[in-house]
Amino acid sequence: MSERKKSVLFISTFNSARSQIAEALLNNLYGDFYEAYSAGLKPTDIHPLAVKVMNEIGIDISGKKPKSIDEFAGSMIFDYVVTLCDEDFEVCPYFPGGKNYIHKSIDASFQLEGKSELYIADFRRMRDEIKSFIINTFKPEVAAGKPIREVLELRKIPDKFLKYLRKVEPIERISAPFRRFIELESSSGILLISCIVVALLLSNVLGYLYLDVWELEISLSVYVFTVTKPLRLWFNEGLMALFFLLVGLELKREFLVGELTTMKKIALPAFAALGGMIFPIIIYSALNMGGVGEPGWGIPMATDIAIVLGVATLIGRGIPDSLKVFLASFAIIDDIGAVIAIALFYPSELYLPAFIVIAVFTASLVAVNYLGAKNMILYFVLGVGLWFGFLESGVEPALAGLILALTIPAKRALGSTEFLDVCYASIEELEKSVPISKREIDAERDMTVNVIDKACDMTVPLLVRIQQIIHPWVGFLIIPLFILANTGVDLWGLDLGFILTQPVTLGVVAGLFLGKQIGITLFSYISVKTKLASLPSGVGWRHIYGAALLGGIGFTMSLFISHLAFTASALLDMAKIGILLGSLISGLAGWIYFKLIAKVK
């Protein structure tokens, strides 16, 4: 052929079925004219039923690997970018490097229901719908080798604008891996491990010079209202509200469009989390029933997902991606259990009038959500008011972040089609205006650019925008500060032989290391054998047991609960040492175990 092949990128949410099918069909049908690629916003394993229905027509996609949109960021500009998604059900991905954009609504909600053969007919229908779309859209004219554009109105970026896309390619190549590093929860987990070591070193080298810093009294005044607390409590009750806000946002997103959208997907991590909470509580309570350490029963029930994923990163290829998804899912549900325990069983003396304030601000948040308000500042102001209500109520103030998260809207103010309309209309306005130099100011042009900027904000759900803003701050500043403020233990002044034999220490260590192993493995096994759940693709029971070992790494939430459960410094030191030992033993055991099964494989 004299003409080069046209490049086509198919994108969908998961790159597990629709976009993979489209890529394979276009390359198979019209490979002489097109070079097809596919990618996803949240790539997951290729769906086995997608492989099966493609095999039925003689096309094998079993060897294909899911790819992230980020892999193509800045690497090339495609002739066509095709989005395959259902806007009523999911957020359509957007990729900026395309000359032409095509959208095809393809319903694939059934693929979230699992891998049952009951859905094979749905996958056949989806395959045939995509094939018909490709034939009608990309069928070449035999003589000219050009695509037929009937039925479709292609959105074309003028060639002169493409040079600006190309101009940012080198920056994209450098920044995309760094952005992915920042966004990975595992990266913050590695930082948290470092902070634990630093806190222990400083508390033992500097002693009370380090520990007393966190007890400095700091006052916050708003008009006649003044609150005075130690620096450590400002972190625990103030900044940790942002941690709970992030937990709530992640929880809401996972239930709406993520790994917890259907009962089939929720079942296994839910059972694992339930077992992983019940057995640590039983073991701890058995050792501390009736003693001074009894209030600490909630300490070993939580798993620290950031540190777990950090350890998983250090383990490397021994952990399948689908197992990491399972770990993250059950840790999220685990957090729900910990939050419920904190709210119900660890309040201080209650001040009932403050609950009126909580009710007013909660009702206000629900009302503005119902009315469709999507102003970030409005939610922030109401959230601060809610936090003050919790602060005076006797219930843990940080929980205000969770309630705020559940009221933040997850719907976009502007659909992707309307977004493109606004952008192209604005670009046309800019083309009509008189060209100006980089140093000149033109109010009318600036207003047009602001319209595009506003459209960009409106096409991203407020939930996602807030999550993207606070995630790096929580993972790389707030949680590290929390750990530095709460992990320090001056071991020189302690009788370790005595502490290590105390019921509180033993209960926390045994609860984390043994309770998590037994609970997660046993409840997962029961749920699968009773057909209430199924194992993820590529995951076997040896992987589930390894995940149960890593599940014993409980740190952030465990430390948080220990400060609520105990006021006596001696009991608090026992709990901290128990958390450190239990988490260390679980982490090392999990690391060694996965390295061993990788060698056996």
Q: For the chain, what are the domain ranges?
A: 6-178, 184-346+396-411+460-600, 416-458
Q: Side chain identity at 270, as an amino acid letter?
A: A
Give the pairing type, strands 225-230 and 6-12.
unpaired
Of the segments 149-163, 219-233, 379-393, 503-517, which one has the largest average pLDDT value? Answer: 503-517
Q: Is the pLDDT of residue 195 over 80?
A: yes
Enumerate the β-bridge partners of residue 179. none
φ/ψ of 230, rounded to 5, equals -65, 155
Name the residue type at position 493.
G
Q: What is the dihedral of CA 119, 124, 129, 131, to 10 degrees?
A: 140
**pTM, whole model, 2 decimals?**
0.65
Mean pLDDT in residue range 591-595: 88
Average pLDDT over residues 379-403: 87
Give the pLDDT confidence of 50-77 residue by residue, as tens digits: 999 999 999 999 888 888 887 887 667 8
Residue-wise DSSP of 375-442: -HHHHHHHHHHHHHHHHHHSS-GGGHHHHHHHHS--S-SS-HHHHHHHHHHHHHHHHHSPP--TT---
Among the residue ranges 46-60, 132-146, 418-432, the one predicted with the least confidence is 132-146
- Give the contacts of 541 (CB within 8 A, at least 6 positions apart): 525, 535
Percent of the chain whose pLDDT exceeds 70: 84
* One-letter identity of residue 167: K
Split at pLDDT 50, 70, 90, the class of 95 is: confident
The helix/strand/coil state of 101 is strand
Residue with tokens 């005076």: 392
Q: Which CATH architecture has domain 184-346+396-411+460-600?
A: Up-down Bundle (1.20)
CA 492 – CA 554 distance, rounded (Å) = 25
Q: How many CB atoms lie within 10 A of CB 443?
A: 7
Distances from the Cα of 101 to the Cα of 81, 84, 451, angstroms: 5, 11, 21
Tell me which amino acid residue 39 is. A
pLDDT band at 187 (very low <50, low <70, confident <90, very high): low
Q: Of the ranges 7-21, 105-119, 217-231, which is most confident?
A: 7-21
Find residue 82's DSSP bridge partners. 10, 102
Please give the Cα distance from 499 to 477 (Å, whole number): 31
What secondary structure letter does DSSP report for 491?
A: G
pLDDT given at position 74: 62
Q: Is residue 68 within 8 Å of residue 75, measured between CB atoms?
A: no
| Alpha-carbon radius of gyration of the chain | 27
Contact present, 545 and 521 (Cβ < 8 Å): yes
Asked if residues 43 and 10 have their Cβ atoms less than 8 Å apart, the reply is no
Give the Cα separation of 51 and 41 in Å (integer): 20
Element (H, E) at 375: none
Considering the chain, what percentage of its residues have pLDDT values greater than 90?
27
Does residue 261 sit in helix, strand or coil?
Answer: coil
- CATH assignment of 6-178, among 3.30.470.20, 3.40.50.2300, 3.40.50.720, 3.20.20.450: 3.40.50.2300
Mean pLDDT of 324-330: 80
pLDDT one-digit tens code per residue, 222-247: 776 777 888 888 888 888 888 888 88
Token digits for 590?
A: 């999990």
Asked whether the beta carbons of 549 and 588 are under 8 A apart, the reply is no
- Whether the CB-CB separation of 310 and 192 falls below 8 Å is answered with yes
Nearest Cα neighbor of 331 from 387, 250, 253 is: 250
Bridging pattern class, strands 155-156 and 6-12 = unpaired
Q: What share of the chain is helix, strand, coil (3-state, %, to 5)?
A: 65, 5, 25
Closest CA to 474 of 155, 242, 153: 242
Residues 197 and 203: their CA atoms lie apart, in Å, by: 10
pLDDT confidence of residue 390: 87
Higher pLDDT, 382 or 306: 382
Q: How far apart are CA 134 and CA 25, in angstroms?
A: 8
Q: How many residues does the chain have?
A: 601
Average pLDDT over residues 549-561: 88
Measured over the CA atoms of residue 131, residue 132, residue 138 and residue 142, the dihedral's sign is positive
Buried-exposed string 484-508: b where 16+ CB fall within 10 A, e elsewhere:
bbbbbbbeeeeeeeebeebbbbbbb
DSSP characters over 512-531: IIIIHHHHHHHHHHHHHHTT
User: What is the sign, positive or negative, of the torsion defined by CA atoms of 222, 228, 233, 235?
Assistant: positive
Q: Which amino acid is at 567?
A: T
Q: What is the pLDDT of residue 117?
A: 67
- C-alpha to C-alpha distance for 521 and 593, rounded to whole angstroms: 15
Angstrom distance (rounded) from CA 282 to CA 261: 31
Give the model's pLDDT for residue 175.
Answer: 40
DSSP string covering 529-557: HTTS--PPTT--HHHHHHHHHHTT---HH
Whether the per-residue pLDDT at 509 is higher than 90: the answer is: yes
446 has a pLDDT exceeding 60: yes
Averaged over 323-346, what is the pLDDT?
Answer: 82
Q: What is the pLDDT of residues 452-489, one digit of tens each?
A: 888 887 888 888 889 888 888 888 888 888 888 888 88
CA distance 548 to 582: 13
Q: CA–CA separation, 40 vs 580, rounded Å?
A: 39
Per-residue pLDDT tens for 369-389?
999 888 899 999 999 999 988
Q: Are 72 and 93 in contact, with CB atoms under 8 Å apart?
A: no
For the chain, the straight-line distance linking the first and the last C-alpha, in angstroms and rounded, comes to 47
CA-based nearest residue to 566, from 479, 491, 513, 505: 505
Distance CA 549, CA 538 (A): 19
The amino acid sitting at 524 is: S
Work out the mean pLDDT of the chain and round it to a whole number: 81
Which residue(s) pair with 78 in the sheet?
A: 98
Using alpha carbons, list the distances in angstroms from residue 597 to 327, 509, 541.
Answer: 18, 25, 12
Specify which of 39-43, 494-498, 540-544 reaches the highest per-range mean pLDDT. 540-544
Torsion of CA 368, 369, 375, 378, to 10 degrees: 50
pLDDT at position 436 is: 67
* pLDDT-derived band at 150, boundaries 50, 70, 90: very low
Residue 267 phi, psi (nearest 5): -55, -55
